[in-house]
Amino acid sequence: MGLYVKNILTRGMWRLLALVLLLGAVSCENLQQDIDVVIPTAPAQLVVECYLEPNQRAQLTVSETAPYLSSPIPVVPSDVTVVISGPNRQRETLLYNPGFNFITGKVYTHSSRSRLLIRPGDVFTLEAKDTKGRIVTGTAKMPATVPLDTVEFNFNDRPVQQREAIVLGRFRDPLATLDFYRFQIHRDSISQNPEVDYSIEDRLNEGKEITLGTSYEFISGDLLIVTLFHLDQPYYRFLQSTQNARNANGNPFAQPAAIQSTVQGGIGVFTILSYQRRSLVIR
């Protein structure tokens, strides 16, 4: 809720700033210009993005940071070896072997041969090492799955041809733990951009039933995939920090913040996904 409020206020502030810029632009002159900036470059760091899922092959992406004003083509090192280890002597070395996952719509650079056996509470580790001596390590623990109790939709009272539906998802927050959630709704396929994407924490709803909803934006015939992720705190913070960092570029009111990676020795995220997913057709 706090993040939502922040976004709404940011939106409001931007409108207000637009008004100020309108005042400033009374002479109809362009108040923006390209400039040269000299920013010291830092050594490139390895960037790891890895989401493990129970009974799935591990697929991850390793890339490198780049100076902001450099070529937009991502730098992908091919000399990185990744080792993923887990309970029950699960240990696999992943070599550079890029591919594309058509289900998730994601590119990966490394993939495991076997499927991982993961249960809530299991701890996995990751180590990515290249020939230059750079090492990224990370540890992730699978959160318990929080059941998505109900998913429902309701139409507004407009004429049938124009009516739109909201979607509501309900779940109960576990007692006495600090919990973080992500609520996504995809239309047709999870490889598309989600229509709805909230990340929340339970600080204000501790142990209560939580209802998350959308605006009236779905129409009859829509196939929706509703996902409730139960996140661990490091992943939630990483998500928040990437969002904050992106919002800070160009926002004079934001305080630029560092990325809070879940890995050490580089940048990125290593986590185990725990989610419940429901599909529904609006009709």
Partner 1 sequence: MRVVVPFVQSLFFLLILCALPRLALAQATVTLSGYVRGATDQGVLPGASVAVPALNTGATADEKGFYSLPLPAGRYALVISFIGYETITREINVNRTQRISFVLPEAANELGEVIVEGSGTLEQKLQTTQMSVERLTTREAKLLPALFGEVDLLKTLQLKPGVQNGGEGTSGLFVRGGSSDQNLYLLDEAVVYNPSHLFGLFSVFNPDAVQSVDLYKGGFPAQFGGRLSSVVDVKLREGNPKKLGVSGGLGLISSRLTVEGPIVKDKGSFILSGRRTYFDVFTRQINKLNADDPEFNPIPNYYFADYNAKANYRLGPKDQIFLTGYYGRDVFGFNSANSFNFDFTWGNTVAALRWNHVFSPKLFMNTTASYTNYDYAVTNKIDQFSFNLSSRIHDIALRTDVEYQPNERHTLKFGGATKAYRFGVGRLQAGSKDGRLGFGSDVSYRGQEGALYASDNFKASDKLQLEYGLRATYFQSDSNRYVGLEPRAAVRYSLTPNMSLKASYAMMYQYVHLVTNSGASLPTDIWYPSRQSVKPQRSQQVAAGVSFLLGRGQFLLTNEVYYKWAQNQIDFRDGAQLFVNSDLDAEFLFGKGWSYGNELYLEKKTGRTTGWMGYTLAWSKRKFAPQRGTTGINNGADFFPTYDRRHNLTVVVLHRLTERLNLTGSFVYSSGAPTTLPQGRFVFQEVYGAEAVAVPIYPDRNSYRLAPYHRLDLGLVWNLKPNRLFDESDLTFSIYNTYNRRNPYFIYFDQIKDPNSDQVTGYRARQVSLFPIIPSVTYNFKF
Touching partner 1, residues 82-101 (CB under 8 A): none
Q: What are residue 238's DSSP bridge partners?
A: none
Residue 96 CA: distances (Å) to CA of 43, 47, 204: 22, 14, 44
| Residue span binding partner 1 (CB under 8 A) among the ranges 45-53, 78-86, 90-98, 111-119 | 45-53
Q: Closer to partner 1 at the Cβ: 91 or 188?
A: 188
Contact between 177 and partner 1 per CB under 8 A: no
Contact between 47 and partner 1 per CB under 8 A: yes
| Contacting residue, 58, 64, 130, 179, with partner 1 by CB under 8 A | 64
| Contacting residue, 83, 135, 190, 280, with partner 1 by CB under 8 A | 190
Contact between 176 and partner 1 per CB under 8 A: no
Contact between 117 and partner 1 per CB under 8 A: no
| Residue span binding partner 1 (CB under 8 A) among the ranges 27-35, 119-127, 130-138, 143-151 | 27-35
Q: Closer to partner 1 at the Cβ: 87 or 192?
A: 192
**Given the DSSP bridges, would you call strands 81-86 and 123-129 parallel, antiparallel or unpaired?**
antiparallel
Spatial contact of 282 and 153, defined as CB atoms under 8 Å apart: yes
Q: Closer to partner 1 at the Cβ: 15 or 89?
A: 15
Q: Which two tokens stand for residue 244?
A: 């904050």
Q: Which two tokens stand for residue 168?
A: 């509501």
Q: Closer to partner 1 at the Cβ: 84 or 165?
A: 165
Q: How far apart are CA 37 and CA 41, in angstroms?
A: 12
Sequence-ordered list of residues with C-beta below 8 angstroms from that of 55, at least 6 positions apart, any chain: 115, 116, 117, 118
Q: How far apart are CA 162 and CA 156, in angstroms?
A: 9
| Cα 12 off chain centre by | 24
Touching partner 1, residues 234-273 (CB under 8 A): 237, 240-242, 244-246, 248-260, 267-268, 273
| Residue span binding partner 1 (CB under 8 A) among the ranges 82-90, 110-118, 131-139, 196-204 | 196-204
Q: How far apart are CA 276 and CA 185, in angstroms?
A: 12
Contact between 102 and partner 1 per CB under 8 A: no
